Chain A
Amino acid sequence: MEFFWISIAGLCTVAILSFLYSDNPLYKVAEHFFVGIAAGYVVCAEFYNVFLPNLWRPLTSGSDYWLIIPLILGIALFTRFSDELGWISRWPMSVIIGTYSGLAVIGFASGDMVLQVQASLIPVFEPATISTFSSEPSVLNFLQIFRNPLFTLGLICVLFYFFFSVEHKGGLRHIATTGTTLLMIGFGAGYGYTVMTRIALLFDRFYFLFVEWLKIAA
């Protein structure tokens, strides 16, 4: 029985990888199967993780009758399918939008902006890095000397690039260009990191195919 399921997984893997050759019916079947399975799983996950514990059980046990409001709002979402009553679905949509706008204001302000700015308030230069380089000269220790200056001045340059209230010309153009260069390094690093993650995933799939399923390699 275990081999049957592993073979299903193997066939799914081969079907998706077949797209590397060309767009073919086998891939299309796997693609549509994937969407169907994912949509089905989402319904089950919401049913067991939200609907039952947050709505159904408290409502049927009589511990919180206020929950009738989100139940009605949730059902009201389905008026979206109607041309005449579709406007009712704006009410539950407003609940979602309002809640997450409020949470975003607080979350981004306290979680992202303040913490990021706070973490950037570091000494522009750290003398200890020079003594470390003198005692243990290496490329890495040499680069560490520039860590704090690059962090502080670099962040100013990156932020200036996004500051459009002043025209980027003359001396200011060089600040914006430095900011763009740092952004390019960031994008390059992000790209390289993403590719390596995907390649690691690909190796995992090949390992599954040739070792766990077909048992060609040990």
Chain B
Amino acid sequence: MKREIPILITLVFGVFMIVQFFIPHPAVNDIANRLQNWAIIVISFSYVLGSANILRINGELVYRRAPGWPYKLVLVIAFFTMATPGLILGIAEGSWTNDRLFTFTYVPLASTMYASLAFYIASAAFRAFRVRTWQASVLAITALIVMLGRIPVSHFIWQDLPGIVDWIMGVPNAVAQRGILIGAALGAIATGLKVILGIERSYLGRE
């Protein structure tokens, strides 16, 4: 009951997703689309579960006055600041929640967070890529060429530099990415089949 039914559900849903590709009959497609829609709905509940979990953990920390509780309180307040008007007024373009709250809080916070990573990537890379082997130097030199080639004045450094960077991105980089993609695809197919057939059960957790 606790393990067999979940494995059976996984098998049924997984097999239908595969079967719909090989049997493009409207009846099969209809069932598969229905099952897929069910999964999308369940996933939407999982997002709410995640948010509820954040609130539960941080709410508890605020209640217990744990170290750093004022920050947790900020988190809880921010959650309701976005969720309350969002659920009442909507989040579509033109709504107050989207045009004011989302655009002037979430957007600058997210883009600055990603932008500030530039400094940390650079310093972490300096430590990680310290030229120890010739292959590490290949990596460092390629990165340097790509960075130089992507600046607006790269053609002043050398007329052919932007073209060479495009060649690096289009040939050796594409070869490496393609090799990784093919390998990852094989791995994903094997893992997917193992999950559907009930060989891989780690997602069920402990007994």
Say yes or no: B40 contacts A54, CB within 8 Å: yes
Given contacts A70-B38, A98-B14, A108-B189, contact A9 B108 (CB under 8 A): yes
Q: Secondary structure at chain A's binding surface: helix, strand, loop or mixed?
A: helix
Say yes or no: B78 contacts A105, CB within 8 Å: no
Which 4 pairs from chain A and chain B are nearest by CB? A186-B176, A102-B17, A36-B78, A40-B82
* Alpha-carbon distance A177/B205, docked complex (angstroms): 40
Count of interface residues, chain A, beta-carbon cutoff 8 Å: 116
Kindly list chain B residues whose C-beta atoms are within 8 Å of the C-beta of A77.
42, 45-46, 49
* Partner pick for A37 among B6, B14, B81, CB 8 A cutoff: B81
* Partner pick for B175 among A32, A69, A71, A158, CB 8 A cutoff: A158
Q: Secondary structure at chain B's binding surface: helix, strand, loop or mixed?
A: helix
Say yes or no: A181 contacts B135, CB within 8 Å: yes
Kindly list chain B residues whose C-beta atoms are within 8 Å of the C-beta of A19.
116
Say yes or no: A37 contacts B78, CB within 8 Å: yes
* Alpha-carbon distance A42/B177, docked complex (angstroms): 32
CB-nearest residue of chain B relative to A75?
B45
Say yes or no: A102 contacts B192, CB within 8 Å: yes
Say yes or no: A198 contacts B42, CB within 8 Å: no
What per-residue 1/0 map shows which CB atoms of A123-159 lie under 8 Å from chain B?
A: 0000000000000001110011011001100110011
Say yes or no: B45 contacts A92, CB within 8 Å: yes
* Partner pick for B173 among A5, A34, A186, CB 8 A cutoff: A186
* Alpha-carbon distance A8/B35, docked complex (angstroms): 44
* Partner pick for B176 among A38, A75, A113, A158, CB 8 A cutoff: A158
What per-residue 1/0 map shows which CB atoms of A33-75 lie under 8 Å from chain B?
A: 1111111111111111111001100000000001101110111
Least CB distance from B72 to A in Å reads 7
Q: Does B157 contact A (CB under 8 A)?
A: no
Kindly list chain B residues whose C-beta atoms are within 8 Å of the C-beta of A110.
21
Say yes or no: B143 contacts A188, CB within 8 Å: yes
CB-nearest residue of chain A relative to B135?
A184
Q: Does A173 contact B (CB under 8 A)?
A: no
Least CB distance from B96 to A in Å reads 11
What per-residue 1/0 map shows which CB atoms of B82-108 lie under 8 Å from chain A?
A: 110011001110000100111111111
Least CB distance from A171 to B in Å reads 19
> 8 Å CB contacts to B: which residues of A161-189?
161-162, 179-189
* Alpha-carbon distance A63/B32, docked complex (angstroms): 18
> 8 Å CB contacts to B: which residues of A94-123?
94-106, 108-110, 112-113, 116-117, 119-120
Given contacts A8-B104, A95-B13, contact A34 B109 (CB under 8 A): yes
* Partner pick for B109 among A16, A81, A199, CB 8 A cutoff: A16
Given contacts A37-B105, A81-B56, A106-B18, contact A188 B87 (CB under 8 A): no
Say yes or no: B175 contacts A188, CB within 8 Å: no
* Alpha-carbon distance A5/B107, docked complex (angstroms): 12
Say yes or no: B90 contacts A48, CB within 8 Å: yes
Least CB distance from B207 to A in Å reads 9
Given contacts A34-B113, A109-B189, 14 further A-B contacts (CB under 8 A): A5-B104, A12-B109, A34-B110, A78-B45, A81-B56, A103-B36, A143-B164, A154-B175, A158-B176, A159-B179, A159-B182, A180-B135, A193-B146, A205-B108
What per-residue 1/0 map shows which CB atoms of B46-75 lie under 8 Å from chain A?
A: 111111101110000000000010011011
* Alpha-carbon distance A79/B50, docked complex (angstroms): 13
Kindly list chain A residues whose C-beta atoms are within 8 Å of the C-beta of B153.
none
* Partner pick for B136 among A42, A116, A184, A198, CB 8 A cutoff: A184
Say yes or no: A162 contacts B91, CB within 8 Å: no
Q: Does B140 contact A (CB under 8 A)?
A: yes
